[in-house]
Amino acid sequence: MRSAWAAATLALGALAAAPRVHADTCGKPDLVDMVPPNGATAVPLNARLGAHYAAATEYLGEDVVLVHPGGGEEILAATWDSTEQFLQVTPTAPLEPNSIYEIRWPALRGLNAAAPGVGDKARFMTGVDDDGAPPTFAGVAAIAWDFTRPHDECTDDLVDRFVFDLTLGPGSDDGGTSGLTLMLFQTEGPLVGSTPTPIPARAWPEGDGASEMHVQVKLAKEAAVGEVCFAGIVRDTTGALSNSGDVEACVQTTDPPFFRGCSVAGGGTGGPSFALASFALALALALRRRSHRP
C-alpha cells in the first residue's frame, strides 16, 4: 500500500502547482546553505548543485561559476525556484571521478533591499559513481515545543514565536547524505488549508544520517496554537524524492501563558519543488487517514 501511495503522490505532484509562499521581506538576502556543502566528499558524478538563500531574495541572472579540477572556470546556466528560494545548476558534462571542484554562488539582491546579500563557495570531491537510487527517509519521528518572545528584526518589537524541535528519522542515499535537501511541511495547524504549508527548505543536518538528527522550525503564534503536525521528505542531487510523505508527527500546543512546552512521538506509517512535494504530501496524508478510519 505504501508504494501505491508514493506513486499516486508523485503522479499528482507532476500535474499540480501550489501558490507561492510569502515570507518576511526585511531580512538580508544572504546565502543560507549549499548542496553539496563545502568539504563534501563522494559527490555523485551526475549531481546537480544548488544553494538556498534567505527569504525574499530574487535572482537576476548573476553568474554561477564552476571551477574544474584543472583550474578552468565555467559559467553555468542556473534555474531559480522562488518558492523554495533555491538556485540550482546542472554541469554541462558529468563530473570527473575522484576530483576536486569548486562552485561559486553569487551574492543576490533582496526584493526590498538596495544592497546585495552574501554569497559563498564550496569545494567538494567527487566519488566514482552516479546517484542511481532515490533517497530514503523515515520521516519526522517526534516533536518538542517551546515558546519565545524575541525581537523582530524588522520592527524591533517583541513577537510571539513557537519553536518546534523536530527529531528526524534516519535518512540515506547512495550519493551520500551531504547531497540531501530536507523539505518539511506543516500539515495541521490553525492556518493550514487544503494543502500542507511548506517550511523553508534546508540542507540535511550534518552527520551520517543514521544517528538522531534535530532541526528547529519557528512559527508565529497564530499558526501554532492547538494541534500542530509536520511531515517531510528529502531530495537527492538528481531530484529524486524519498517515500516518506505519509509519515506525520503531531503535538498539541497551549496558548500562553503556560509553564513549559511538551513533546510527542510521531504517528504514521512509516525536478521536484515545494509545489510538487506539497501536493504529494497532501494526497499521501489523506490516503493514510482514510485507511485508518474504522
Angstrom distance (rounded) from CA 59 to CA 107: 9
pTM of the predicted model as reported, rounded to 2 decimal places: 0.78
Enter the C-alpha cell of residue 216. 528547529
CATH number among 3.40.50.300, 2.60.60.20, 1.10.533.10, 2.60.40.1220, domain 31-125: 2.60.40.1220
**One pLDDT digit (tens) per residue for the chain, 294 residues:** 333 333 333 333 332 333 333 334 466 899 999 999 999 999 999 999 999 999 889 999 999 999 999 999 999 999 999 989 999 999 999 999 999 999 999 999 998 777 889 999 999 999 999 999 999 999 999 999 999 887 666 667 778 899 999 999 999 999 999 999 999 999 999 999 999 999 999 999 987 656 779 999 999 999 999 999 999 999 999 999 999 989 999 999 998 765 554 555 554 433 456 656 665 666 666 656 655 555
The terminus-to-terminus CA distance of the chain in angstroms comes to: 17
Of 239, 155, 235, 161, the C-alpha closest to 203 is: 235
Rounded-to-integer distance, Cα 58 and Cα 45, Å: 29
Q: Exposed/middle/buried for 196, CB within 10 Å: 0-12, 13-18, 19+?
A: buried
Ranges of each domain in the chain: 2-18+133-292, 31-125
Helical pair 274-292 and 2-15, crossing angle rounded to 10 deg: 140
